[in-house]
Amino acid sequence: MTTKIRYGWRLFATGFSFFSFGLGGLLLWLLVFPALSALPGSRRQKVSRGQRVVHYSFYAFIGLMHRLGIMTYEIVGLEKLNRPGQLIIANHPTLVDIVFLVSRIKEASCIVKGSLWRNPFMRGPIVNAGYISNSDPEKMIAECAAWLKAGGSMIIFPEGTRSVPGKPYRFQRGAAAIALQAGRIVTPVTISCYPSTLTKAEPWYRIPERRFHLALHVGDDIALDAFAEAGLKSVAVRRLNRHLQDYFTQQREVYKYYGK
């Protein structure tokens, strides 16, 4: 009976958390961001303020999920993050990966699906935090590289969507192209989740039998010189993309049961 009560509570708490997330996004769009936009400052300063608002909002959301008993979490190597011009490349096992990362990075941009610009719960944070649409791939790469060269931080999931459990990684080349074009800091972050939950193949209400443990392991920076020396740009992008895919495939096995 106790087990069923705990499961029922976590199911309710999960639904409440996502309801709060949507409501919070709507309130930010209607109340907070209009006020921020009215403040004086350059476009860059306004985007910086918007990113910090999203950061603190996501920090509160992760804290809510933790306090409600839905999840536990840990971060190894946090001191390697929050550097100007840093491209953070991560795998994408769960729905809350971007929320978790942004909650620990004070100012970061990211790539979002073009369809989300029409979502009233997400439009406020997306527009005011200066996030970049993936609608036009060439424009996306140029805008991301320019943002990094200007000293901004960025988070990218090379898969482009959440991983399919049990399937090999299939990285798109956009992250590698952005990294080589920007020529700035590239830092890999491995995200592991056990028990597996909130994957691409699962609805939010199919929760595991116990609270899940989400962990971030920040790796060492990836040196780009060897890939940049490949000659042809297409060859360099392909080699870096393969390196990233192999790296995260290996890391997934290392942290497969982390937090068990």
Query: Is residue 260 within 8 Å of 201, Cβ to Cβ?
Result: no
Query: CA separation (Å) from 152 to 26, 48, 99, 217, 232?
Result: 26, 9, 18, 22, 27
CA 167 to chain centre: 20
DSSP letter, residue 68: T
For each of the chain's 260 residues, which pLDDT tens digit applies?
588 889 999 999 999 999 999 899 888 888 898 888 888 988 889 999 999 999 999 999 999 999 999 999 999 999 999 999 999 999 999 999 999 999 999 999 999 887 777 777 777 778 888 899 998 999 999 999 999 999 999 999 999 889 888 889 999 999 999 999 999 999 999 999 999 999 987 888 999 999 999 999 999 999 998 887 766 788 999 999 999 999 999 998 888 777 66
Among candidates 193, 222, 179, which has minimal Cα distance to 74?
193
The pLDDT value given to residue 194: 92
Cα angle 89-68-121, degrees, rounded to a multiple of 5: 55
Helix, strand, coil % in the chain, rounded to nearest 5: 50, 15, 35
Query: CA separation (Å) from 161 to 40, 72, 73, 232?
Result: 36, 23, 22, 28
Query: Is residue 145 within 8 Å of 137, Cβ to Cβ?
Result: no
With respect to residue 96, please indicate whether it lies within any of the assigned structural domains.
yes
With respect to residue 259, please indicate whether it lies within any of the assigned structural domains.
no
Q: How far apart are CA 50 and CA 130, in angstroms?
A: 8
pTM greater than 0.75 = yes
With respect to residue 122, please indicate whether it lies within any of the assigned structural domains.
yes
With respect to residue 229, please indicate whether it lies within any of the assigned structural domains.
yes
With respect to residue 128, please indicate whether it lies within any of the assigned structural domains.
yes
**What range defines the domain where residue 186 resides?**
2-254
With respect to residue 260, please indicate whether it lies within any of the assigned structural domains.
no
> What CATH number is attached to the domain comprising 229?
3.40.1130
The pLDDT value given to residue 126: 84
The pLDDT value given to residue 231: 64
b/e 17-35 (16+ beta carbons within 10 angstroms → b)? bbeebeebbbebbeebbee
Q: How many CA atoms lie within 13 A of 130 on its CB side?
A: 25
With respect to residue 151, please indicate whether it lies within any of the assigned structural domains.
yes
Structurally, the chain folds into a number of domains equal to 1
With respect to residue 174, please indicate whether it lies within any of the assigned structural domains.
yes
